[in-house]
Amino acid sequence: LSLVLTKAVYFIEDMFEKLPIHWMWWPAIGGFAVGIIGYYQPNTLGVGYDNITNVLSGNVTLTLLLTLSLFKFLSWAIALGSGTSGGTLAPLLTIGGACGAIIGSFILGLFPNAQISLSMAALIGMSAMFAGASRAYLTSIAFALEATMQSEALLPLLGACTASYLVSFFFMENTIMTEKIARRGIYTPDAYEPDILRKIKVAEVFSNKPHRFHFQTSLKAIKDYLRTSSSSDTHILVTDHDGNYHGMVAFAQLYAHADENVSVTSIVNKQGSTIYSNESLSKAVEQMSEQEEELLPVLSPEDQKVVGVLTYKDVLKAYNANIRASKEAGINLSLKRQRLRMMIRGRNFYKTKNPL
């Protein structure tokens, strides 16, 4: 049912988008439709907490349950589909509880001796609906238990929420809350993805053998040295006698300067940013992006002296090495994705065999 609800909401939204009128009229049309439904079925109006309480009490008529499950769903779907502001929690709980109570009543009609409580059936339907629509599996179970304090409902809740979650996972790419975001082209991951670069320190990957020159060294001496060097560096670091950082000079800037007798301090770039060796690669990438630089001088956090240089190639190399090591060790960076790897393959296989 949560699958049907989600698809119905966005189907109605698609229908509104096809209307040959400006979008600002959509909420007016949606509000008019909701008002008509509410005029004939007043129980569908409002937030719905009273309806939730009544359904959980088990003292509601079958007519009211049918009204809440059908007309509440219709008015809510039209309201959201038309672009009006509104939530999903209370409507999902109301509709889910009503559907659960209806299913419980139907089972009691077929099997009068079945030990089924309508309030319990409503609670299970409520949690299963929310678990499927939002894929908040544990939250749905914990919410139901804490709200009602019915510990005997744990096993039925586990079964119903698990089934609802799996059906939603296989048949819906996104949840009712992320579908609109995904339609705007924004990636919505369904699992936590840790930042690999955040756990790697600059000290683990930087090069500690950059070209370093005293600030009084002449350009001619530097060029003569570089001609005999086989290094692939593109910059030199400028320091004083104690190793304190003065700046950086690109090879292109160095060779473009005609006067070779001047010292390197005359062309040094002192505006570039630096990074400390105890900071993360994530911080380094952020600085590289902001400053549009290919490398960063690395300083010691203890004495502020230059200890090396970090390039974007060092970052990529560390990232790829960490990914390979994780795969070889069988460590999946997402616990959720690790547990549901076979399910993802099954969903992709189903989509291949049954394209929409």
Q: Examine the pLDDT at 336 and tell me if it is beyond 60.
A: no
pLDDT value, residue 41:
85
Domains (range + CATH), the chain: 2-183 (1.10.3080.10), 196-319 (3.10.580.10)
Among residues of the chain, what percentage have pLDDT more than 90? 0
Buried/exposed code over 268-297 (b: 16+ C-beta within 10 A; e: otherwise): beeebeebbbebbbebbbebbeeeebebbb
pLDDT value, residue 328:
62
pLDDT value, residue 350:
53
The band of 335, judged by pLDDT with boundaries at 50, 70 and 90, is very low
pLDDT value, residue 337:
46
Mean pLDDT of 137-141: 84
Mean pLDDT of 16-20: 84
Q: Examine the pLDDT at 132 and tell me if it is beyond 80.
A: yes
Mean pLDDT of the chain: 78
pTM above 0.85, yes or no: no
End-to-end CA separation in angstroms for the chain:
19
Residue in the block written with tokens 């900071």: 279
pLDDT in tens, 217-265: 877 787 777 777 766 677 777 888 777 777 777 777 777 776 777 777 7
pLDDT value, residue 332:
47
Can you give the chain as a three-state secondary structure string?
A: CHHHHHHHHHHHHHHHHCCCCCHHHHHHHHHHHHHHHHHHCHHHCCCCHHHHHHHHHCCCCHHHHHHHHHHHHHHHHHHHHCCCCCCCHHHHHHHHHHHHHHHHHHHHHHCCCCCCCHHHHHHHHHHHHHHHHHCCHHHHHHHHHHHHCCHHHHHHHHHHHHHHHHHHHHHCCCCCCCHHHHHCCCCCCCCCCCCHHHHCEHHHCCECCCCEEECCCEHHHHHHHHHCCCCCCCEEEEECCCCEEEEEEEHHHHHHCCCCCCEHHHCCECCCCCEECCCEHHHHHHHHHHHCCCEEEEECCCCCEEEEEEEHHHHHHHHHHHHHHHHHCCCCCCHHHHHCHHHHHHHHHHHHHCCC
Q: Which of 101-105, 138-142, 190-194, 336-340 has the lowest mean pLDDT?
A: 336-340
